Amino acid sequence: MTDLSRRQLLGGAGAAALGSTLAFPSVVWGQAQFNLKCANIMPTDHPLNVRLREASDRIREQTNGQVNIQVFPSSQLGNDGDMLSQLRAGGIDYFVQTGLILATLVPVASINGIGFAFPDYAKVWQAMDGAVGKHVINGFAKANLLAFDKMWDNGFRQTLSVAKPVRTPDDFRGYKIRVPPSPLWTSMFKAAGALPVSIPWGETYTALQTRVADGLENPLAGIYFAKMHEVGKFMSNTNHMWDGFWFVANRRNFEALPATARDIITRNINEAALRQRADVEKLNASLKSELQAKGVQFVDVNPEAFRERLRQGGFYSEWKGRMGDEAWGLLESVTGKLA
Protein backbone atom coordinates (compact mmCIF):
# COMPACT_ATOMS: atom_id res chain seq x y z
CA MET A 1 0.00 0.00 0.00
CA THR A 2 1.42 3.38 -0.94
CA ASP A 3 1.70 6.32 1.45
CA LEU A 4 -0.97 8.14 -0.56
CA SER A 5 -3.45 5.28 -0.54
CA ARG A 6 -2.89 4.73 3.19
CA ARG A 7 -3.60 8.37 3.93
CA GLN A 8 -6.68 8.19 1.71
CA LEU A 9 -7.85 5.06 3.51
CA LEU A 10 -7.47 6.58 6.95
CA GLY A 11 -8.71 9.98 5.93
CA GLY A 12 -11.71 8.47 4.14
CA ALA A 13 -12.56 6.34 7.16
CA GLY A 14 -12.34 9.39 9.40
CA ALA A 15 -14.48 11.51 7.10
CA ALA A 16 -17.10 8.80 6.83
CA ALA A 17 -17.25 8.38 10.59
CA LEU A 18 -17.48 12.14 11.08
CA GLY A 19 -20.11 12.56 8.42
CA SER A 20 -22.28 9.84 9.93
CA THR A 21 -22.35 11.49 13.36
CA LEU A 22 -25.88 12.39 14.34
CA ALA A 23 -26.54 16.05 15.08
CA PHE A 24 -25.61 16.60 18.70
CA PRO A 25 -27.92 18.46 21.09
CA SER A 26 -26.89 22.04 21.73
CA VAL A 27 -24.23 22.36 24.42
CA VAL A 28 -23.77 25.79 25.93
CA TRP A 29 -21.56 26.71 28.87
CA GLY A 30 -21.92 30.46 28.74
CA GLN A 31 -18.99 32.01 26.91
CA ALA A 32 -16.55 29.36 28.13
CA GLN A 33 -13.90 28.21 25.67
CA PHE A 34 -11.73 25.23 26.57
CA ASN A 35 -8.45 25.04 24.67
CA LEU A 36 -6.67 21.82 25.62
CA LYS A 37 -3.28 20.30 24.73
CA CYS A 38 -2.69 16.67 23.83
CA ALA A 39 0.93 15.57 23.26
CA ASN A 40 2.75 12.46 22.10
CA ILE A 41 6.03 11.37 20.48
CA MET A 42 4.67 9.68 17.35
CA PRO A 43 5.01 11.11 13.81
CA THR A 44 2.16 13.28 12.58
CA ASP A 45 1.00 10.73 9.97
CA HIS A 46 1.02 7.74 12.33
CA PRO A 47 -2.49 6.25 12.82
CA LEU A 48 -2.38 7.44 16.43
CA ASN A 49 -2.29 11.08 15.37
CA VAL A 50 -4.64 10.59 12.41
CA ARG A 51 -7.30 9.29 14.79
CA LEU A 52 -6.52 11.83 17.53
CA ARG A 53 -7.08 14.68 15.10
CA GLU A 54 -10.29 13.06 13.92
CA ALA A 55 -11.49 12.73 17.54
CA SER A 56 -10.58 16.36 18.19
CA ASP A 57 -12.69 17.42 15.20
CA ARG A 58 -15.64 15.39 16.42
CA ILE A 59 -15.34 16.80 19.95
CA ARG A 60 -15.18 20.35 18.59
CA GLU A 61 -18.28 19.72 16.47
CA GLN A 62 -20.26 18.09 19.27
CA THR A 63 -19.47 20.93 21.71
CA ASN A 64 -20.33 23.68 19.22
CA GLY A 65 -16.68 24.69 19.06
CA GLN A 66 -16.30 25.27 22.79
CA VAL A 67 -13.84 22.38 23.38
CA ASN A 68 -10.75 22.44 21.19
CA ILE A 69 -8.10 19.75 21.73
CA GLN A 70 -4.90 20.65 19.89
CA VAL A 71 -2.73 17.64 19.08
CA PHE A 72 1.05 18.06 19.34
CA PRO A 73 2.82 15.06 17.69
CA SER A 74 6.49 14.27 17.13
CA SER A 75 7.75 15.34 20.58
CA GLN A 76 6.90 18.97 19.80
CA LEU A 77 6.41 19.69 23.50
CA GLY A 78 9.52 17.87 24.71
CA ASN A 79 10.82 14.38 25.33
CA ASP A 80 8.99 11.71 27.31
CA GLY A 81 10.13 12.99 30.69
CA ASP A 82 9.37 16.60 29.81
CA MET A 83 5.84 15.82 28.70
CA LEU A 84 5.08 13.62 31.69
CA SER A 85 6.23 16.42 34.00
CA GLN A 86 4.07 18.92 32.11
CA LEU A 87 1.08 16.57 32.36
CA ARG A 88 1.46 16.24 36.10
CA ALA A 89 1.82 20.01 36.50
CA GLY A 90 -1.20 20.69 34.29
CA GLY A 91 0.69 22.40 31.46
CA ILE A 92 -0.41 19.54 29.18
CA ASP A 93 -3.98 18.28 29.52
CA TYR A 94 -3.49 14.89 27.83
CA PHE A 95 -0.44 12.74 27.19
CA VAL A 96 -0.61 9.67 24.96
CA GLN A 97 2.27 7.33 25.69
CA THR A 98 3.07 3.68 26.18
CA GLY A 99 2.63 2.07 29.54
CA LEU A 100 6.29 1.14 29.52
CA ILE A 101 7.26 4.82 29.62
CA LEU A 102 4.50 5.85 32.02
CA ALA A 103 5.76 3.11 34.35
CA THR A 104 8.41 5.55 35.57
CA LEU A 105 5.48 7.00 37.55
CA VAL A 106 3.05 4.06 37.71
CA PRO A 107 5.18 0.86 37.73
CA VAL A 108 2.32 -1.55 36.99
CA ALA A 109 1.64 0.31 33.71
CA SER A 110 4.46 -1.66 32.10
CA ILE A 111 2.76 -5.02 32.61
CA ASN A 112 1.62 -5.23 28.99
CA GLY A 113 5.29 -5.26 27.94
CA ILE A 114 6.32 -8.42 29.76
CA GLY A 115 8.46 -10.26 27.24
CA PHE A 116 6.69 -12.89 25.10
CA ALA A 117 3.56 -12.73 27.27
CA PHE A 118 1.00 -12.32 24.47
CA PRO A 119 0.90 -14.64 21.43
CA ASP A 120 -1.74 -12.59 19.55
CA TYR A 121 -4.13 -9.64 19.65
CA ALA A 122 -7.00 -11.70 21.05
CA LYS A 123 -5.04 -12.23 24.26
CA VAL A 124 -3.85 -8.59 24.31
CA TRP A 125 -7.35 -7.13 24.29
CA GLN A 126 -8.70 -9.79 26.64
CA ALA A 127 -6.16 -8.56 29.18
CA MET A 128 -6.07 -4.82 28.53
CA ASP A 129 -9.84 -4.34 28.07
CA GLY A 130 -10.40 -6.57 31.05
CA ALA A 131 -9.10 -7.03 34.57
CA VAL A 132 -5.43 -6.29 33.77
CA GLY A 133 -6.32 -2.94 32.20
CA LYS A 134 -8.62 -1.99 35.08
CA HIS A 135 -5.84 -2.76 37.53
CA VAL A 136 -3.49 -0.41 35.65
CA ILE A 137 -6.14 2.34 35.46
CA ASN A 138 -6.47 2.13 39.25
CA GLY A 139 -2.70 2.58 39.47
CA PHE A 140 -2.91 5.80 37.44
CA ALA A 141 -5.69 7.06 39.72
CA LYS A 142 -3.43 6.62 42.75
CA ALA A 143 -0.91 8.89 40.96
CA ASN A 144 -3.68 11.51 40.48
CA LEU A 145 -3.94 10.83 36.75
CA LEU A 146 -6.94 9.63 34.79
CA ALA A 147 -6.37 6.92 32.17
CA PHE A 148 -9.15 6.38 29.65
CA ASP A 149 -10.65 2.90 29.32
CA LYS A 150 -9.42 1.90 25.87
CA MET A 151 -5.73 1.54 25.08
CA TRP A 152 -4.44 2.50 21.65
CA ASP A 153 -2.35 0.03 19.67
CA ASN A 154 1.35 0.41 18.99
CA GLY A 155 1.81 -3.17 17.83
CA PHE A 156 4.02 -6.16 18.50
CA ARG A 157 7.65 -5.10 18.58
CA GLN A 158 10.40 -6.38 16.29
CA THR A 159 14.19 -5.95 16.22
CA LEU A 160 15.83 -3.82 13.49
CA SER A 161 19.62 -4.08 13.08
CA VAL A 162 22.16 -2.00 11.18
CA ALA A 163 24.96 -4.46 10.38
CA LYS A 164 23.69 -8.02 10.88
CA PRO A 165 20.42 -9.68 11.91
CA VAL A 166 19.55 -11.14 15.29
CA ARG A 167 18.72 -14.82 14.74
CA THR A 168 19.32 -16.39 18.17
CA PRO A 169 19.77 -15.12 21.72
CA ASP A 170 23.52 -15.50 21.26
CA ASP A 171 23.42 -12.72 18.65
CA PHE A 172 22.53 -10.30 21.44
CA ARG A 173 25.94 -10.69 23.09
CA GLY A 174 27.64 -7.31 22.96
CA TYR A 175 24.73 -5.91 20.94
CA LYS A 176 23.89 -2.29 21.77
CA ILE A 177 20.14 -2.02 21.38
CA ARG A 178 18.28 1.26 21.65
CA VAL A 179 15.49 1.09 24.23
CA PRO A 180 13.23 3.76 25.73
CA PRO A 181 14.03 4.93 29.27
CA SER A 182 12.12 2.09 30.93
CA PRO A 183 13.33 -0.37 33.59
CA LEU A 184 11.40 -3.24 32.02
CA TRP A 185 13.03 -2.83 28.61
CA THR A 186 16.46 -2.54 30.16
CA SER A 187 15.90 -5.58 32.36
CA MET A 188 14.54 -7.71 29.52
CA PHE A 189 17.40 -7.08 27.12
CA LYS A 190 20.01 -7.48 29.81
CA ALA A 191 18.48 -10.87 30.64
CA ALA A 192 18.63 -11.70 26.92
CA GLY A 193 22.36 -10.86 26.92
CA ALA A 194 22.24 -7.52 25.08
CA LEU A 195 23.56 -4.08 26.05
CA PRO A 196 20.49 -1.82 26.25
CA VAL A 197 21.07 1.89 25.63
CA SER A 198 18.31 4.34 26.63
CA ILE A 199 17.90 6.94 23.89
CA PRO A 200 14.91 9.27 23.29
CA TRP A 201 12.97 8.32 20.18
CA GLY A 202 13.71 11.65 18.51
CA GLU A 203 17.47 10.92 18.72
CA THR A 204 17.35 7.29 17.62
CA TYR A 205 17.81 7.78 13.87
CA THR A 206 21.10 9.60 14.46
CA ALA A 207 22.15 7.03 17.06
CA LEU A 208 21.86 4.27 14.46
CA GLN A 209 23.69 6.34 11.85
CA THR A 210 26.61 6.96 14.20
CA ARG A 211 26.52 3.41 15.66
CA VAL A 212 25.85 4.63 19.16
CA ALA A 213 23.39 1.73 18.89
CA ASP A 214 23.60 -1.43 16.76
CA GLY A 215 19.86 -1.62 16.43
CA LEU A 216 16.48 -0.87 17.93
CA GLU A 217 13.23 -2.59 18.69
CA ASN A 218 9.84 -1.16 17.70
CA PRO A 219 6.61 -2.07 15.94
CA LEU A 220 6.75 -1.99 12.14
CA ALA A 221 4.56 1.11 11.96
CA GLY A 222 6.86 3.05 14.28
CA ILE A 223 9.91 1.99 12.27
CA TYR A 224 8.27 2.85 8.96
CA PHE A 225 6.86 6.27 9.82
CA ALA A 226 10.10 7.35 11.53
CA LYS A 227 12.07 6.09 8.48
CA MET A 228 14.35 3.96 10.62
CA HIS A 229 14.58 1.51 7.72
CA GLU A 230 16.85 4.02 6.01
CA VAL A 231 19.62 3.15 8.49
CA GLY A 232 18.69 -0.38 9.58
CA LYS A 233 18.36 -3.14 7.00
CA PHE A 234 17.80 -6.38 8.98
CA MET A 235 14.43 -7.03 10.64
CA SER A 236 14.15 -9.94 13.07
CA ASN A 237 10.54 -11.01 13.69
CA THR A 238 11.00 -11.36 17.43
CA ASN A 239 7.48 -10.25 18.50
CA HIS A 240 9.10 -9.90 21.90
CA MET A 241 6.43 -7.69 23.44
CA TRP A 242 3.14 -6.01 22.71
CA ASP A 243 3.10 -2.27 23.19
CA GLY A 244 0.16 0.10 23.44
CA PHE A 245 -0.62 3.70 24.33
CA TRP A 246 -2.59 4.97 27.29
CA PHE A 247 -4.53 8.22 26.82
CA VAL A 248 -3.87 9.88 30.18
CA ALA A 249 -5.41 13.11 31.49
CA ASN A 250 -4.37 15.53 34.19
CA ARG A 251 -7.15 14.78 36.66
CA ARG A 252 -7.51 18.32 37.98
CA ASN A 253 -7.81 19.82 34.50
CA PHE A 254 -10.21 17.14 33.32
CA GLU A 255 -12.52 17.41 36.32
CA ALA A 256 -12.63 21.21 35.88
CA LEU A 257 -14.51 20.69 32.59
CA PRO A 258 -18.34 20.57 32.55
CA ALA A 259 -19.66 17.05 33.00
CA THR A 260 -21.16 16.98 29.50
CA ALA A 261 -17.80 17.98 28.01
CA ARG A 262 -16.08 15.18 29.92
CA ASP A 263 -18.62 12.69 28.59
CA ILE A 264 -18.15 13.87 24.99
CA ILE A 265 -14.36 13.73 25.25
CA THR A 266 -14.31 10.31 26.89
CA ARG A 267 -16.71 8.74 24.41
CA ASN A 268 -14.94 10.11 21.33
CA ILE A 269 -11.44 9.26 22.53
CA ASN A 270 -12.41 5.68 23.38
CA GLU A 271 -14.17 5.26 20.01
CA ALA A 272 -11.12 6.65 18.21
CA ALA A 273 -8.90 4.17 20.06
CA LEU A 274 -10.93 1.26 18.71
CA ARG A 275 -10.69 2.59 15.16
CA GLN A 276 -6.95 3.14 15.56
CA ARG A 277 -6.49 -0.46 16.73
CA ALA A 278 -7.94 -1.71 13.45
CA ASP A 279 -5.76 0.75 11.51
CA VAL A 280 -2.54 -0.44 13.13
CA GLU A 281 -3.29 -4.14 12.84
CA LYS A 282 -3.96 -3.74 9.10
CA LEU A 283 -1.01 -1.41 8.67
CA ASN A 284 1.52 -3.71 10.31
CA ALA A 285 0.24 -6.56 8.13
CA SER A 286 0.89 -4.53 4.97
CA LEU A 287 4.23 -2.99 5.90
CA LYS A 288 6.41 -6.08 5.52
CA SER A 289 6.23 -5.98 1.73
CA GLU A 290 6.78 -2.22 1.67
CA LEU A 291 9.86 -2.46 3.87
CA GLN A 292 11.19 -5.35 1.83
CA ALA A 293 10.84 -3.18 -1.27
CA LYS A 294 12.99 -0.59 0.50
CA GLY A 295 15.77 -3.13 1.05
CA VAL A 296 14.92 -4.49 4.51
CA GLN A 297 15.61 -8.20 4.98
CA PHE A 298 13.22 -10.07 7.29
CA VAL A 299 14.43 -12.92 9.49
CA ASP A 300 12.21 -15.36 11.41
CA VAL A 301 13.34 -16.49 14.87
CA ASN A 302 12.31 -19.10 17.40
CA PRO A 303 10.59 -17.14 20.18
CA GLU A 304 10.82 -20.03 22.62
CA ALA A 305 14.64 -19.82 22.55
CA PHE A 306 14.45 -16.17 23.61
CA ARG A 307 11.76 -16.90 26.20
CA GLU A 308 13.93 -19.60 27.72
CA ARG A 309 16.88 -17.19 27.85
CA LEU A 310 14.68 -14.75 29.81
CA ARG A 311 13.67 -17.52 32.23
CA GLN A 312 17.30 -18.47 32.77
CA GLY A 313 18.19 -14.81 33.27
CA GLY A 314 15.58 -14.46 36.02
CA PHE A 315 13.50 -11.95 34.09
CA TYR A 316 10.07 -13.39 34.85
CA SER A 317 10.72 -14.03 38.52
CA GLU A 318 12.10 -10.49 38.91
CA TRP A 319 9.06 -8.88 37.31
CA LYS A 320 6.58 -11.04 39.15
CA GLY A 321 8.10 -9.60 42.32
CA ARG A 322 8.01 -6.05 40.96
CA MET A 323 4.42 -6.24 39.73
CA GLY A 324 3.05 -7.96 42.79
CA ASP A 325 1.04 -11.15 43.11
CA GLU A 326 -2.30 -9.51 42.25
CA ALA A 327 -1.21 -7.94 38.97
CA TRP A 328 0.86 -10.98 37.95
CA GLY A 329 -2.03 -13.31 38.72
CA LEU A 330 -4.35 -11.24 36.52
CA LEU A 331 -1.81 -11.37 33.71
CA GLU A 332 -1.25 -15.13 33.93
CA SER A 333 -5.02 -15.70 34.01
CA VAL A 334 -4.91 -14.61 30.35
CA THR A 335 -1.43 -15.65 29.18
CA GLY A 336 -0.88 -18.84 31.13
CA LYS A 337 2.06 -19.39 33.45
CA LEU A 338 5.13 -17.26 32.72
CA ALA A 339 7.28 -17.51 35.85
User: DSSP assignment of 62-131, as one string?
Assistant: HTTTSEEEEEE-TTTT--HHHHHHHHHHTSSSEEEEEHHHHTTTSGGGGGGGSTT--SSHHHHHHHHTTH
Q: Where are the domains of the chain?
A: 3-154+243-285, 158-241+290-335
How much is the pLDDT for 293?
A: 94
Domains 3-154+243-285 and 158-241+290-335 share a fold: yes
What's the pLDDT score for residue 246? 98
Q: What does the CA dihedral 259, 275, 97, 112 come to, rounded to 10 degrees?
A: 110
State the pLDDT at residue 28. Answer: 62
User: What letter represents residue 276's amino acid?
Assistant: Q
**CA-wise closest residue to 177 among 159, 191, 163, 201:** 159
The ranges of the chain with pLDDT < 50 are 1-25
Q: In whole angstroms, what is the distance from residue 17 CA to residue 132 CA?
A: 30
pLDDT value for 29: 77
pLDDT digits (tens, 9 = 90+) for 251-264: 999 999 999 999 99
pLDDT of residue 159: 98
Q: Does domain 3-154+243-285 have CATH number 3.40.190.170?
A: yes
Give pLDDT, residue 325: 97
Fold type of domain 158-241+290-335 = D-Maltodextrin-Binding Protein; domain 2 (3.40.190)
pLDDT of residue 27: 61
pLDDT at 19: 38
